[in-house]
A and B are shown apart, each in its own frame.
Chain A
């Protein structure tokens, strides 16, 4: 068992036993579902919208060779410096080089899961820079020295009291349970940081190839300030963020917010196309865009699972996933959690080390049903399982399934096994639930039904003496 796998099990055991956590998450996501459904209802034809979105992403991902150069060319034409990073290490080096060149001290960041993916904050802190997250949820988890709990709602696991507590401890503010007061405390701190920052760092929700623009979706206005106030702006994005045309945003912006938060549109949607142009009164003097691969092109080469690159990071699959809802976001130990994380992480960070996430699913398919870009999520979990078992079979398990196949293929042996089971289950109460119980994983929390006194096959044979 990999380290990540045993850690996952330990955390899953802890969180599934935490009934308060279960209550908080179920309630929050229950509310989300109500609002999401109402907003979805405003679409004339949701299933047609999903189909269109899936086709547009298919077009973009299958023609990255055309759209990426187009995107870069348009961005560069307006004076943006574009960088290509094959790995997380390269991306960090590029960013550190920019900061050094700018003699920066303080960096203000808006929400970017790609920066979590490359562990940017840790690298910047190690190099002596001050980094401040400006998204309220990210700001809170940064103060708590935690990873985001959810790709859209980083602090959804925290109650007001816990937020007040960390503000009091880290910022010296007076304790309060009032959400407005809490927001104002964060705002007071952050406004100073926007002014002090030398570099503003953002992620991207979409990258429009046609016009060479970055699209950022947000609710707090923090990304706008991050992009507008510091003299230098840096955007890090995965190369799958591409959309072919500007008009595609007419579908994707409402779709992202509908599935992300249940809003018809988020409060702010901004497009960035380069540094301040001649005659423009504001904007950054210098703009850097870093396109991150980090094994995305390996996934691109996998025709079976390529559609996982369609993901727009709306978080909808996490919200409906009964696994996520019971184990919570941190248990995964990954940047991307929930069903999309379980599909992607084995590709981004190694199949054998992360295959357990693909097994930790009942394959219920709620994720695939909800995904706005129609990624075949739960079938990809099956594909990951197959690839993992093919590449490195667990010998005991393989043997068990060989025996299983043998028994199932020989009805006589199967019949004998049924009889043996019926006899052996009389002894089961002696070991039930204990260390010697072969069915312990089941019987610790559940009763096991007995093998029937007459199986269906026995009934059928008794009825048909000729057979």
Chain B
């Protein structure tokens, strides 16, 4: 299958290994990959801040660039939700309304693509560690991605998955983390404490933005608990 890969801006800039791992996994499965050069960001920061005109300015370019794609795999539940759930609302009543709906129909968050679209859970990965899984809220509640990453982790040799007590937000929330740093930090601290209570060595997630927030707090706390993206776990052998 020809897969069009959407690597969101912050993954591109700060977590390139996530993108590289996805490329490795999909190529190993025999798919050909393209990454449109003109795509950088989904526009979510502007959208979430209420600046829908500016968000549309970015999103329109995404729509054009992905018009011809057969299937789009995106390396973030949050940006995936932007394309799948929020673009159709953003473009309601505009000339791009249909294009937004067409795109929404062919976008898959990475773990969802493997499990739902390809029907694959076994990737031959090995990762010797006790891990816990953090669900990014957008992936969990906007896209309904819950079982998919767990099915994939269940097949990783040497890996033990322990669930956290609660399914709460990590406190990132995009511009929220900068606008209300005290609340965002408190939420993150609560989340880190819940993760630590599992005794896991790693927090795994399918969203780098949550991991960026949690790792930022854990580093400041000098905690040995580490974060790692699902794709990086699955690419290990």
User: Do these two chains really belong together in a complex?
Assistant: yes
**Residue of A whose beta carbon sits closest to that of B175:** A359
Give residues 350-382 of A contacting B (CB, 8 Å). Answer: 359-366, 368-369, 382
Asked if A360 and B20 make an inter-chain contact with CB atoms under 8 angstroms apart, the answer reads: no
Assuming the contacts A326-B187, A409-B57, asked whether A444 and B215 have C-beta atoms less than 8 A apart, the reply is: no
Shortest Cβ gap from B168 to chain A (Å): 5
- In the complex, the answer to whether B169 meets A401 with C-beta atoms within 8 Å is no
Provide the B18-50 mask, 1 if CB < 8 A to any CB of A, else 0.
111001000000000001011011010111111
Report B169-199 residues with CB < 8 Å from chain A CB: 169, 171-188, 190
A386 within 8 A of B: yes
Q: How many CB-defined contacts (below 8 Å) exist between A and B?
A: 190
A322: Cβ under 8 A from any B Cβ = yes
Given contacts A385-B48, A386-B50, contact A418 B13 (CB under 8 A): yes
Interface residues on B, range: 35 or more
B136 to A: closest C-beta gap in Å: 9
Q: Which of B15, B18, B169 contacts A362 (CB 8 A)?
A: B169
Taking CB atoms and an 8 Å cut-off, the chain A residues in 416-467 that contact chain B are 418, 421, 441-442, 444-452, 454-461, 467
Summarize B's interface: helix, strand, loop or mixed: helix
Contact of B141 with A364 in the complex, beta carbons under 8 Å: yes
Q: Tell me, yes or no, whether B115 is within 8 Å of chain A by CB.
A: no
Kindly specify which of A57-65, A236-244, A282-290, A390-398 makes contact with the partner chain.
A390-398
Question: A12 within 8 Å of B by Cβ?
Answer: yes
Instruction: Assess the B46–A13 pair: CB atoms within 8 A.
Output: no
Assess whether A405 is interfacial by the CB under 8 Å rule: yes
Q: Which residue of A lies closest to B41 (CB)?
A: A408
A84 interface residue, CB < 8 Å from B?
A: no
* Interface of chain A residues 312 through 326 with chain B (CB within 8 A): 322-323, 325-326
Q: Which residues of B contact A366 (CB under 8 A)?
A: 137, 141, 167-169
Q: Which residues of B contact A454 (CB under 8 A)?
A: 16
A455 touches B16 (CB 8 A): yes
Cross-chain contact of B215 among A387, A411, A449 (Cβ < 8 A): A449
Residue B164 lies at the interface, judged by CB distance under 8 Å to chain A = no
Q: Which single member of A322, A390, A414 contacts B187 (CB below 8 Å)?
A: A322
Chain B residue nearest in CB terms to A409: B61
Asked if B220 is an interface residue, CB under 8 A from chain A, the answer is yes
A360 with B13: CB separation less than 8 A: no
Q: CB of B123 within 8 A of chain A?
A: no
Q: A147 within 8 Å of B by Cβ?
A: no
CB within 8 A of A385: which of B37, B50, B219?
B50
Is A402's beta carbon under 8 Å from chain B?
yes
- Chain B residues lying within 8 Å of A360, measured Cβ to Cβ, are 176, 179-180, 183
Interface string of A87-116 (1 = CB under 8 A from B): 000000000000000000000000000000
Let me know if B7 is at the binding interface, CB within 8 A. yes
A389 and B52 alpha carbons, distance in the complex (Å): 9
In-complex Cβ contact of B172 among A362, A365, A382, A418 (8 A): A362
Q: For B140, what are the chain A residues with a Cβ–Cβ distance below 8 Å? A: 365
Say yes or no: A389 contacts B49, CB within 8 Å: yes
Query: A22 interface residue, CB < 8 Å from B?
Result: yes
The 4 A-B residue pairs with the shortest CB-CB distance, nearest first, are A362-B173, A389-B50, A446-B216, A385-B50
6 A-B pairs within 8 Å (CB atoms) are namely A16-B185, A326-B186, A362-B187, A408-B58, A421-B13, A449-B212
13 new A-B pairs (CB below 8 Å) besides A16-B183, A363-B176, A364-B141?
Answer: A322-B169, A360-B183, A362-B187, A364-B137, A364-B173, A382-B48, A388-B50, A390-B50, A398-B54, A401-B45, A404-B45, A454-B16, A457-B7
